[in-house]
Structure 1
């Protein structure tokens, strides 16, 4: 304790730590210490045999430890030794040395922390001084502070710019309002019944003209198609063929297309361009080919 934290106030309460009278001596010392108003109590002794440490297993001692109001650290014997008194304590450590370490602070750690805090405060103070100097320098070099009239002139110029910008914005807004008004009037006119009737009449006139034009065009196309069909039918008509000197021979109501389709002596019907002839077959001749 003197090595780790020499400024600590330590009060010793000696007691027997082995033998038959040890439990009573320990209980008496613990009760006195508990009334001493200490931050913590250490119940410690060095190593020994099982019999030497057996007094710390006393039932009354354990109950006394349990009833203490002060925080108690027990470090009895060596690390392998365990007694009931240690188990009843608030904290159990392996040895008396560990018990001292448990309730004390290392002065060298504290010194290192103080040195670190000192260095931190020194650095922080220097930073604050440097920052304050920078702020002071900016104030000293501020052109507005050196020449307040210049600040007023610049603000006046800025005010003139903003006034011009505001006037331009109002003018544009007025123009946009006029455009919007004209658009609204056009929209209202487009939505009015009169405009709808006028628009419908124009569409009807346009549709009537388009219908007449399409009708004339279709009629002309039909006439041309009919004329082509008539010409084609006329060109394919048998009467046209007969008018060029050809004839149609029929036997028994069928058109004769070959010599073998009629017999000698059979009557046939011959159609020419201006009438019909009846004849009998007297001779058949085949052409080569």
Structure 2
């Protein structure tokens, strides 16, 4: 068969794809199954395998559809999917292109809520160690809520009734719908940069989970956690619980309760002041009574009834010390006078002229003694020097040569034994007036020479 009649792989794949496109039953199909091999691409696309106990199909959910998901697809999750079935030409495989996805058996929002709650709890955003304490007497209170909502009216009326000294600063925000989370985050940032807020209330009235969903967004939770101002969360009614409630420093079941947490009651403060006043008055009264009793006790004591007996010992001691002072003064005067007279006599006896004469005489004696000592030392040193010269001269080998002796050198070293030499060896002989180079002709032992020829 002619090769031109064969289809290419690409042509066959395109033909199959057209068949998928033409089949209306492969459009907007509803499929349920279990997620497997879930891969969330950084671009926002999600790729996974949808399977049951008998079959599986490759699936893809592109970013435009995935951005509307309220929860995070995870391995093993059972889901309900709506999408189209078509062929992926590059691999020739058919796959499911997902348009929407929701959990099977539980609401998507509830699942997203649980997922984010668990994730933030693992990070420690709910830990009590991060919770800030509320001020006892706040001056300025910030409120983040809808500008026209009932929550704002409840908060303002409660604060004015309980603690009118506090001022209220509103940071209006959208609290429902797609733009709610970014709006709440911006308001938290504005409140953080305001500079003089003591406490911040964030909340709104009740509603469905969809209505309250902005307070379950991760961006809002992290903005609350990062805020340095103590935050009271007041979202919905008492039965409503959001992620913002867990992250905030305190949770109030309603906006009115949040205002009650933020400020003290005026009546309670008055009562506390009165109690403190009564306590202080009672304390001072008791102290005055105690001091009055002490005073009475001291007034009735023996020393205060006879005060002269207190200072009598000191008067007697003062008198004794005065007498001693007079006696010591007289004795000191007599002693100083005698010492003065003695020094005058010494000055008359030892006149400057006499001191000069005595000093001159002592100097002459010392000079004479020094001269004798130097001469004696010189004689001693001279005798020792002459003795050393005689000894050195006696030991000088050159003087020995004057008497006819000589010194034999071999290789520059002095040799004094025939065992150091061999016949025919060159040697040097040092005599009194020079050095002789010689050669050994023969070696004889124990030879007595009486006369040199």
TM-score of the two chains, using structure 1 as the length reference? 0.47
Question: Relative contact order (alpha carbons < 8 A, sep ≥ 6): 1 or 2 greater?
Answer: 1
TM-score of the two chains, using structure 2 as the length reference? 0.31
Higher relative strand content? 2
Q: Which has the larger radius of gyration?
A: 1
